[in-house]
Amino acid sequence: MNKYIVEFIGTFFLILTIGLTVIGGAGSFAPLAIGSVLMVMIYAGGHISGAHYNPAVTLGVWMRGKCATSDVPMYMIAQIVGGALAGFIVMYLLGKGGAPAENFDPIKALVAEFLGTFALVYVVLNTATTKSNDGNSFYGLAIGFTVLACAYALGGISGGAFNPAVAVGVSVMSLSSWANIWVFLVGNFAAGAAAALVFKAVYKGDD
């Protein structure tokens, strides 16, 4: 149970920060804040739950054999509930929701979400689940700043979710249209699976 609470808390603060910075007017500083909050929540929760905060990460970590099958459904539920709740809190605090981007191209967005999520899960698996990197202090910085970099690079094309729980949260707060949520679900889960397959092909460590 404690693992699910940690997943809920981390995902809640991730999506709270996304909504408040993007709708609230932090402008181009939003990715810095978002990458940072993901980093700090990973450092805070990693020792308890593994600090996924992202159903696509949970999929990839499960395929890599580092997440118990029995934990997968509750992890994803905790993440999505945390993301949705954050969406409502954002709207309460700002007194408004956001508006979806007008030039959303679903195919390019799908490519962008695939690329960003692939990078994210590839970094997670290499920095946080391998024996050769055991005991390092950089995993949170690496994972959080992957989202920072990909949000600057790809955010203008897809919005830069790279995370189905984020997709739910930004749909709740009207930053993204519910009609487009399939783009995120397909792109993110496909990329999480692809990153796990690539990781398993290139990592030759014994654990």
Residue ranges in contact with a copy of itself by CB under 8 A: 2, 5-6, 9, 13, 16-17, 20-21, 24-37, 39-41, 43-45, 47-48, 89, 92-93, 108, 111-112, 115, 119, 122-123, 126-127, 130, 132-133, 136-143, 145-146, 148-150, 152-154, 156-157, 198, 201-205
Residue 54 main-chain phi, psi, to 5 deg: -170, 115
Would you say 20 or 196 has its CB closer to a copy of itself?
20
**Distance separating alpha carbons of residues 46 and 199, to the nearest angstrom:** 20
> Min. distance of Cβ 118 from a copy of itself in angstroms?
9
**Distance separating alpha carbons of residues 198 and 166, to the nearest angstrom:** 24
Would you say 104 or 152 has its CB closer to a copy of itself?
152
> Min. distance of Cβ 53 from a copy of itself in angstroms?
13
Would you say 72 or 111 has its CB closer to a copy of itself?
111
Structure tokens at 170: 């930004």
Comparing CA positions, the residue from 202, 201, 204, 192 lying closest to residue 67 is 192
Would you say 178 or 204 has its CB closer to a copy of itself?
204
**Distance separating alpha carbons of residues 34 and 20, to the nearest angstrom:** 10
> Min. distance of Cβ 62 from a copy of itself in angstroms?
19
SS3 161: coil
Would you say 152 or 189 has its CB closer to a copy of itself?
152
Structure tokens at 3: 């693992």
> Min. distance of Cβ 82 from a copy of itself in angstroms?
13
Strand intervals (E) in the chain: none
Comparing CA positions, the residue from 42, 43, 47, 70 lying closest to residue 57 is 42
> Min. distance of Cβ 47 from a copy of itself in angstroms?
4
